[in-house]
A and B are shown apart, each in its own frame.
Chain A
């Protein structure tokens, strides 16, 4: 006879405030086969686990039900506790009386009643549990990093440092990402390129790191330890291994109308180009939209001047297939489109720019060679006005509900740099709040105010318009309770940042969940911040949420540590809750094969002894290493041959019966 123990957790007051735990224990004691029931304040604590272990030994329990939080939280904890006491870990069932009960009910009577029902269902299920043994699967000791910005580069370098191979897939023609576009970095004002480009070179030189630039992930299959990835290497029309990056083609190219994306479209570039001087790889790429040869068949100048013979107008996209053990998402961000905010005249006035555009206008390698000039007439501005929170903390539908986190600091940086280099320029900053949590951040902002005389005005701007060749800013000073009309030469919009538009597509390929803002969701916001709930998928950088460079680099290292922890294992324990077929019932119809998302189902011709009748039949065979236990086959099977271990049809019916009892 089965001997079941029921353990009811208070979870401090999380459960006990809404569920009468004494009543759940009393109710448990009268359930069939329950020989022991007890409650405790924190069942997951060492003392709580001790109660479970002692009860297993003392009462010779054959099954355990823990009424506590979600199994996603502590199922593993309690399985391990049972295992330590000599019980098969799969003889443990969790009744979720926190997330599914106490947290969503206010009335204690109702909550208690529901907790009792959930407990009853779990007891009914555990009576039909069978001991299971986890299988093993291999681990491909190579990682894939999607995105080649500072997040992706740092993650890859840290993984490579531990001795594992790692590939970076970057959709643009060079690695470096957003950080490569920045001029200086806060709060130290060191040059962005000076600290980033050595890392880019390191990534290219590291023999463990392989770069796939101008490439995108096409499809992802498999599961943790065994991902199968197809990468589309887009045609550059330039042979990557032959091009020397001399730039002769760029100088001769007659088509110079392409917008320079690296300079935020502030100037033009030829149809054949290297994104910027320190690009990695330092290889040209042809923009097929702009190339005269590719569009009309006439021209071919670049081919003529290329002494290395690297130009190949016939190059095709190439599909590369690779196996990986772990995948890191580092897809980064983009600024939102400022033209949605008509009142700031971004689309109509060239002297209204975004902060990222200002970075390029102040960068020595930018369109003005680092001299700050008004985009409209290339003259020196005398007054610059910054507007904070453009599209951040905005629930009107035009912006983003969150704080973009980096804008307060980069604006202080911009203001300071301008005042330092051009003391004759007056700088105003309209702010709602100045948010500076971070080491040396507030001190940095105060320097802007106290040392550099930047005029911070508490209040927002209502509109910006052009009048008599200059810009007019109409704003409010909430401290003085006055409306301000300011004449200014340039306006800089601190636009909100949003996840890169590819994040959603990549996340769905990886089955990684995303939130309403398209940021990738963590497995646990506090305790597992760099892992996706999908096993083997890790998060690095702004794809998880707005963050600055120091935070991104820390998170990149953390994600790398998690990847290394995974790749260091030779075998992974697989989930034993997999499906299997009853060969006597299987009619070989192939329904299950069609719905299996993991390709885990195949067919074999087998000699079946069906009640004395021997015949060869085509029956379903499940590859237990591939099966993820989703259960799709069990519901689609017309003859009821498919069943899931640990979640059998019989068990689910028993739970339903117990709930309805």
Chain B
């Protein structure tokens, strides 16, 4: 299948629900990140690489799984860019590109206990099922 970096970057931007062009390159996201040293590409790089359309490397990187989704970057970003949501959008893109349904309804009863909020199931299916 044809892979267009720019188009994918646009898709990631749309999925993230934020505007990475608002970034003023202050790096406060990376300064706040508890997983910084685990990541090959850091939060501020995710933002600038998505703006540039340079996403192929991000999709292939292990960094996407290192983000803890702690939202420190989202809370502290002075420009309202929400880097964690951009990283999440990259992560979801890789899953969707694999072309498989990651989550089957058949698996649900086995993994659900009363601790899991219903909302988590809803978002899990939104993300991981094509």
Contacts and interface: CB of A to CB of B under 8 A. Distances in A.
Are A and B interaction partners?
yes
B74 to A, nearest CB: 10
Contacts of B45: 481
A395 B79 contact: yes
A476 B42 CA distance: 10
A137 interface: no
A425 B21 CA distance: 39
Given A343-B76, A389-B78, A462-B76, A395 B22 contact: yes
Contact of B32 (A389, A432, A463): A463
- Of B26, B29, B36, chain A has the most CB atoms within 10 Å of the CB of B26
A408 to B, nearest CB: 14
A476 B31 contact: yes
Interface in A447-471: 458-463
Contact of A459 (B31, B33, B79): B31
B59 to A, nearest CB: 20
Interface in B69-104: 72, 76-80
A476 B44 contact: yes
Given A343-B32, A474-B32, A476-B44, A459 B78 contact: no
Nearest to B35: A483
| B: interface residue count bin | 20 to 34
Interface string A342-354: 0100000000000
B25 A396 contact: no
Nearest to B73: A462
A432 B24 contact: yes
A397 B22 CA distance: 14
A396 B27 contact: no
A23 interface: no
Interface in B1-46: 22, 24-33, 36-37, 42, 44-45
* Residue of A396, A397, A458 with most partner-chain B CB within 10 A: A396
A462 B24 contact: no
Which label, helix, strand, loop or mixed, suits the secondary structure of the A interface? loop
Given A460-B28, A462-B72, A476-B30, A481 B78 contact: no
A399 B26 CA distance: 15
Contacts of A389: 26, 78
A476 B27 contact: yes
B25 A462 contact: no
Interface residue SS majority, chain B: helix
Contacts of A398: 78
Contact of A432 (B25, B33, B72, B80): B25
B42 A481 contact: yes
Interface string A381-400: 00000000100011111110
A498 to B, nearest CB: 15
B27 A394 contact: no
Contact of A394 (B29, B30, B36, B79): B79
A522 to B, nearest CB: 26
Given A395-B22, A476-B44, A483-B33, A462 B28 contact: yes
Contacts of A478: 25, 27, 30, 44
A637 B78 CA distance: 52
A326 B28 CA distance: 47
Contacts of B27: 432, 458-460, 475-476, 478
A396 B78 CA distance: 5
Contact of A460 (B22, B31, B42, B72): B31
A459 B24 CA distance: 11
Nearest to B28: A460
B33 A462 contact: yes
Contacts of A397: 80
B31 A399 contact: no
A253 to B, nearest CB: 44
A395 B72 contact: no
A474 B24 CA distance: 19
A476 B26 CA distance: 9
Closest A-B pairs by Cβ, 5 of them: A462-B32, A462-B31, A460-B28, A394-B78, A476-B31
Given A462-B28, A476-B30, A478-B30, 17 more contacts: A393-B24, A394-B79, A395-B22, A395-B80, A396-B79, A397-B80, A398-B78, A432-B27, A459-B30, A459-B31, A462-B31, A462-B32, A463-B31, A476-B42, A476-B44, A478-B25, A483-B42
30 contacts: A343-B32, A393-B24, A395-B78, A396-B77, A396-B78, A396-B80, A398-B78, A399-B78, A432-B24, A432-B26, A458-B27, A459-B26, A459-B31, A460-B26, A460-B31, A461-B31, A462-B29, A462-B72, A475-B27, A475-B31, A476-B27, A476-B28, A476-B30, A476-B31, A476-B36, A476-B44, A478-B30, A481-B42, A483-B31, A483-B42
Interface of B: 22, 24-33, 36-37, 42, 44-45, 72, 76-80
